[in-house]
Amino acid sequence: MGEDMMLIVYLVIALAIMLGVVVFFKLNVAMALVIASLFMGIASGLGLVGTIEGISNGFGSMMRDLGIPIGLGVILGKLISDSGGAYSIAHAIVTKTSEKLALYSIGLAAFVLAIPVFFDVAFLILVPLSVQIGKQLNKPLPYPVGAIVIGAALSHTLVPPTPNPLAAASILDFDLGIMISIGAIVGFIATLVTIKIYFVILDKGFWKKETDEDSTMDNPYGKMEIPDNPPSAWIAIIPIILPSIMILLGSVGNVIYDENPEIITFLSDRIIALLIGAIAAYFVAAKSLNKKQRDASSSEAMQATGIVLLITGAGGAFGAIIQSTGIDQAILDIFVSDAQSVLSVILLAFFMGVLFRTITGSGTVAGITTMTIMAGVVTGVDVHPVWVAMASLSGGLMLGHVNDSGFWITTKIAGLSVKGGLKTYTTSEAIAGIVVLIITLIGAHIF
């Protein structure tokens, strides 16, 4: 067996170790990533010391690029959520559309909300509102629940400042402004298309209330405490769009100037942009939260950031070890043909993302690990790296199931059975992943 193929075999074994550690020993996925990294490095000949150094360097490199931005992004989202601003945005989007488009507006509201906040927060905010609208429209539970899952999942997966899309520009070395623009456009289109496809499937009798809903739950639709005097939707959305505008300023500057002026480079840096967004969120939240409450909200956000940073860093460590082995070139040699290089790279990134998501249950791990592996591959192919990022992320969106916390949040909060969770969370995200893949393949061949 050739050296390239042996590296592939080692990678498969490392993935199997990761799966075994998570499923059978119930260890945290971050610990599983470190254990898999140790095996991969030692087996592929990096040596004991070299493997440890690779893990440390990979973790440190990822934290250097993303640690502060992720923390600031979480603070921003927590303040907007706790102040009631997120609810104001959602309510404004849903109430300003016609009854015919109400369920689509729920999906778009979820898409907007999940840009600054995590999936579970966006879901909790929208579930009571969406279920009420579903009852008014005489639509079964999976219609409003599925719309929320689709919009929130696509936004969380494709649009910075959530960890995966934020990491994409650093890992694959391209302009973050491009990731914001492409992620937002593709995500918006994919949200509408996926909701339509999912509703067509539901219209054909896919849902069975008797087996797919859990009638034993006392409070199936969750509850979010909204302050009495939340900021308006227009005010609350400022901290969300302001960082994106600042980052895009740098992208525009790259087109206008041979080299961006220092002030534009400074203002468009992701740390500065998200710092300004977090400060804006702090002032916006002042309408409904006093200083003590805002400080408490920020502190809770930082506590929640810990596990996200640990998993993100561990994913970077695993990716760095894989990259150190030269497996990127092995993948290029074995799987990517000269005749169909762009198609092969896009599909390879997609299916690797699917594999990692299915095994680990974490879209963050799936996206970051896949993009790190593909970083070396993409340099040898005539395709913009943003499309490799989109393929990796869309694969990481696929097949979330019982080893995914989002699955249980959706299932338990919405009052579904496990079968119902598979029919909403898993099915809708699978459709979304395929829709994004199709858009990515088109985009990669046009731009």
Whether residue 437 is predicted with pLDDT greater than 90 in this model: the reply is yes
Q: What are the pLDDT digits (tens) for 70-120?
A: 778 778 878 887 888 877 877 777 777 776 777 888 888 888 877 776 676
- Looking at residue 198, its pLDDT comes to 92
Q: What rounded mean pLDDT belongs to the chain?
A: 80
- State the average pLDDT over residues 247-274: 80
At 350, the pLDDT band (50, 70, 90 cuts) reads: very high
Whether residue 387 is predicted with pLDDT greater than 90 in this model: the reply is yes
At 17, the pLDDT band (50, 70, 90 cuts) reads: confident
- Looking at residue 352, its pLDDT comes to 84
- Looking at residue 218, its pLDDT comes to 47
Q: What are the pLDDT digits (tens) for 332-349?
A: 666 655 445 788 888 888
- Looking at residue 339, its pLDDT comes to 43
What is the pTM (predicted TM-score) of this model?
Answer: 0.74
- Looking at residue 219, its pLDDT comes to 45
Domain extents in the chain: 3-446
Q: What are the pLDDT digits (tens) for 413-432?
A: 677 777 888 888 888 999 99
Percent of the chain with pLDDT over 70: 87
- Looking at residue 103, its pLDDT comes to 83
Whether residue 327 is predicted with pLDDT greater than 80 in this model: the reply is no
272: phi then psi, degrees, rounded to nearest 5: -65, -45
- State the average pLDDT over residues 390-407: 80
- Looking at residue 331, its pLDDT comes to 65
At 404, the pLDDT band (50, 70, 90 cuts) reads: low
3-state secondary structure labels for all residues of the chain: CCHHHHHHHHHHHHHHHHHHHHHCCCCCHHHHHHHHHHHHHHHCCCCHHHHHHHHHHHHHHHHHHHHHHHHHHHHHHHHHHHCCHHHHHHHHHHHCCCHHHHHHHHHHHHHHHCCCCCHHHHHHHHHHHHHHHHHHCCCCCHHHHHHHHHHHHHHHHHCCCCHHHHHHHHHHCCCHHHHHHHHHHHHHHHHHHHHHHHHHHHHCCCCCHHHHECCCCCCCCCCCCCCCCCCCHHHHCHHHHHHHHHHHHHHHHHHHCCCCCHHHHHHHCHHHHHHHHHHHHHHHHHHCCCHHHHHHHHHHHHHHHHHHHHHHHHHHHHHHHHHHCCHHHHHHHHHCCCCCHHHHHHHHHHHHHHHHHHHHCCHHHHHHHHHHHHHHHHCCCCCCHHHHHHHHHHHHHCCCCCCCHHHHHHHHHHCECHHHHHHHHHHHHHHHHHHHHHHHHHHHHHC
